[in-house]
Amino acid sequence: MESGADWHCISDKKKEKWKIEERVPSLYLLGFLKELLCTQFFLLLPLLICLTKPASSQVWDGVIVTAADYQALQAFKHELDDPRGFLRSWNDSGYGACSGGWDGIKCAQGQVIVIQLPWRGLGGRISEKIGQLQALRKLSLHDNVITGSIPSALGFIPNLRGVQLFNNRLSGSIPVSLTRSPSLNFLALQHNNLSGSIPDSWGGVLNNNHFQLRSLELDHNFFSGSIPASFSALSELEEISLSNNRIGGAIPAEMGRLSRLRTLDFSNNALNGSFPSSFVNLSSLVLLNLESNNLDTQIPVALDRLHNLSVLNLRRNQFRGNIPSTIGNISTLIQLDLSQNNLSGEIPASLSELRNLKSFNVSYNNLSGTVPMPLSQKFNASSFVGNIHLCGFSESNRCPSQVVPAPSPETSKPRGRKLSTKDIILIAAGTLLIVLLVLCCILLCCLIRKRAASKAKDGQTTGRAAVTQKGVPPVGGEVEASGEAGGKLVHFDGPMVFTADDLLCATAEIMGKSTYGTVYKATLEDGNQVAVKRLREKITKNQREFEAEVGVLGKIRHPNLLALRAFYLGPKGEKLLVFDYMPRGSLATFLHARGPDTPIDWPTRMKIAQGMTRGLFYLHTHENIIHGNLTSSNVLLDEHNNAKIADFGLSRLMTAAANSNVIATAGALGYRAPELSKLKKANTKTDVYSLGVIILELLTGKSPGEAMNGVDLPQWVASIVKEEWTNEVFDLELMRDASTIGDELLNTLKLALHCVDPSPSARPEVQQVLRQLEEIRPETAAAAAGSSDDGAGVPSTSDLEG
């Protein structure tokens, strides 16, 4: 390495940008260059670069880091504790800082723009000299054990866009300078030991530019004082969380000016006063959580102006008065919790009209009257207990029936003439005739049931094979049976057998509708449950082709594919497909319609991802079937959260026009590969695209059908990653364990983005996807290989290749 004395004759002006680089030149060349260096340094610098090469394996990108940034990084490193040695790459020469050699550092034109060192176990404190990094855009040090205070110098960095310091041990207060940083987009300081009052100096206008802060997360600290009224000046704010602090006082009415606000969480504080009436102006609000405060007065009647609201949580306050019936007009509401307040009056019947409501609780209030029947049928007694005068929500809490007054003797006297003997005989004869007809009907029903039972028991069904005992599956092959009304039922192997009459007389409940038809949950007479898909008329092929194709589908068996157990052809052309019933429903429901108290951990999500990938791999390689309509609604879950792909092969039963409609529907839901808008025919690569979208759905917790800022889910994720905000992509539930699963999340995200590449040729085959998922989390793959619902192991990629 060149010594410091060799550089003495370089003027200070020429030292603005520099680079110290280890070289291994020949001895003669080195001596020659030393002689000429002081007189002709700048003339020989290109020759020096070309004739020497770095000792490091990193390729130098030709960009020189500034001296100020190098000094700031050294000071930053000096004040941090690095027990795991992640900062060893930060050498004393500065070489490689801007060419990828320094862990967690990114540069542009020789200046540091990103410091990204999450989950590194770093301790110590953040140096005030970080303010010298004048080009810094993002500081991400979350999930470490850093102590000390937040440097006030951060607020003076002109282009700082994001600060992520959550899950550390920072103390002190928020620097006032940080509240006046005009370019700041994201500030995440949650889960620290910060205290004191939150500065009341946020936002405003600087040089005719509004402050850009979009997300402010200060929850799980020890902040006190009151909520700053200056929050209302953050006109771009979309998310604010102050939960789990010690903040008191009233909520500023000025908060109602934040028209872009989507998430507001002030829960678990000591707020008092009223529910601000100005909140009804927050038209973009999706989540409003004021749980566990001391708010009183009434809930505003105009709350229905929040037409995008999905979650309303006012639990554990002191609200009084009636529940506004206008809440029933918020059709988007999924969760409503008004429990543990002082609300009175009846539960508005309008709440029964909330079709999307999945979680409801009004327990422990002073409510009275009868619970609307739709609510009592949909939610259990725990949603209503603690209201002494409320009834009708359980068998043990029925409302007293209205007492019908007995007729008085005077009113009970018959008016008009007395009945003659002839009248009495006619009445008696009519009564006897009705009784005889009822008896005949009962006898007829008994005979029909006995005949059906006899056929099932003695094997006298009109099919090609027989069953010796009802409920015992056939040994093999198919079983055909005709119902009393005609038609044909064809069984495939399965755990139960039923007649056509059993199927047609089963109690049915609609589970969903699709382009193909309507799906019902059918409960048979013996209590067994099956899923029945009634195909729409005029979209299927003719009966001969239909039977041939459905016969092939009925023989496909794999632990991650939903088994077709039977099909029925009715005398009027109706077609029913009978599948196993999955108690957990679809993955879409599992992800998006659960309550906030039902988290889904990473092992469960990866198990689902690996399972559906195995099922798709089997379809592509063993059955030569393209799914063509893979969505999270077509991935079902059993009681152990094993994924089972449904609706595979149905395109073979349909006309070409029907299949085109299915592809169009998949596009509307956000799962369709972009090339299908022209090709109109699905292939393995379009299936892989849909698979990638579902994996993104598992990672983000977001539904592809909901446009994010006007773009679909893959585009939104790609834009966030491009902006170097990768951690903002993941579902918050997953980020709680990011210190242990962070690498798995990032690798799965990279794989999913590979699957949704706009270019079909750039996408991997499903076999490669499965192999990489098993490499990312091998323990999940090993657990799946050990058992399945059929008692057989789930094959790995290596097994399937053989």
> Exposed (0-12), middle (13-18) or buried (19+): which is 287, by Cβ within 10 Å?
buried
Angle between helices 738-755 and 684-700 (to 10 degrees): 150
Residue 191 tokens read as: 């889960």
Nearest Cα neighbor of 559 from 785, 771, 801, 799 is 785
pLDDT higher than 90, residue 266: yes
Mean pLDDT of the residues in the chain? 80
The top-scoring range by mean pLDDT among 414-428, 711-725, 746-760, 773-787 is 746-760
Place of tokens 């016969």: 551
Is the pLDDT assigned to residue 472 strictly greater than 60?
Answer: no
Band (777; pLDDT cuts 50, 70, 90): confident
E-strand ranges in 615-752 read: 635-637, 643-645
Q: Residue 100 carries which DSSP code?
A: T
Alpha-carbon Rg for the chain in angstroms: 35
pLDDT value of position 801: 45
Task: Judge residue 791's burial from the number of C-beta atoms within 10 Å of its C-beta, 0-12 exposed, 13-18 middle, 19 or more buried.
Answer: exposed
DSSP H or E run through 144 = none
Report the C-alpha gap between 723 and 726 in whole angstroms: 8
pLDDT of 401 reads 54
Determine the pLDDT at residue 458.
Answer: 46
pLDDT tens digits for 642-662? 999 998 888 888 877 666 666
How far apart (Å, rounded) are the C-alpha atoms in residues 479 and 554? 12
CA-CA distance, 365 to 317, in Å (whole number)? 11
764 to 679, 684, 750, 757: CA distances (angstroms):
19, 10, 12, 9
Residue in this structure with the two tokens 């639990």, named with its chain if needed: 315
User: At 481, is the pLDDT very low, low, confident or very high (cuts 50, 70, 90)?
Assistant: low
105 pLDDT tier (thresholds 50, 70, 90): very high
What span, in angstroms and rounded, lies between the C-alpha atoms of 117 and 164?
A: 10
**What is the DSSP-derived secondary structure letter of residue 231?**
G
H or E stretch at 105: strand 105-108
What is the predicted pLDDT for the residue at 154?
A: 94
Q: Please state which of the ranges 46-60, 584-598, 749-763 shows the lowest mean pLDDT.
A: 46-60
DSSP one-letter code for 355: T
pLDDT in tens, 122-167: 999 999 999 999 999 999 998 899 999 999 999 999 999 999 999 8
User: Using CB atoms within 10 A of its CB, is residue 393 exposed (0-12), middle (13-18) or buried (19+)?
Assistant: buried
Q: Exposed, middle or buried by CB within 10 Å (0-12, 13-18, 19+), for 279?
A: buried
Query: What pTM value is reported for the model?
Result: 0.55
Handedness of CA 698, 701, 703, 704 (dihedral sign): negative
Check residue 413 and give its pLDDT. Answer: 44
The model's pLDDT over 761-770, given as tens digits with 9 standing for 90+, comes to 899 999 999 9
**What mean pLDDT is predicted for residues 471-500?**
63
Return d(Cα 671, Cα 687) in angstroms, integer.
9
* Nearest partner of 78 among 122, 135, 13, judged by Cα: 122
Q: pLDDT of 151-210, one tens digit each? A: 999 999 999 999 999 989 999 999 999 998 889 999 999 999 999 999 999 975 554 456
Burial label, 677 (beta-carbon count in 10 A; 0-12, 13-18, 19+)? exposed
Angle at 385 between CA 380 and CA 387, to 5 degrees: 140
Map out the domains of the chain with their CATH numbers.
Answer: 4-51 (no CATH), 324-398 (3.80.10.10), 479-580 (3.30.200.20), 587-801 (1.10.510.10)
3-class secondary structure, 794: coil
Q: What is the DSSP letter of 628?
A: S
Kindly state the tokens that stand for 653.
């039963």
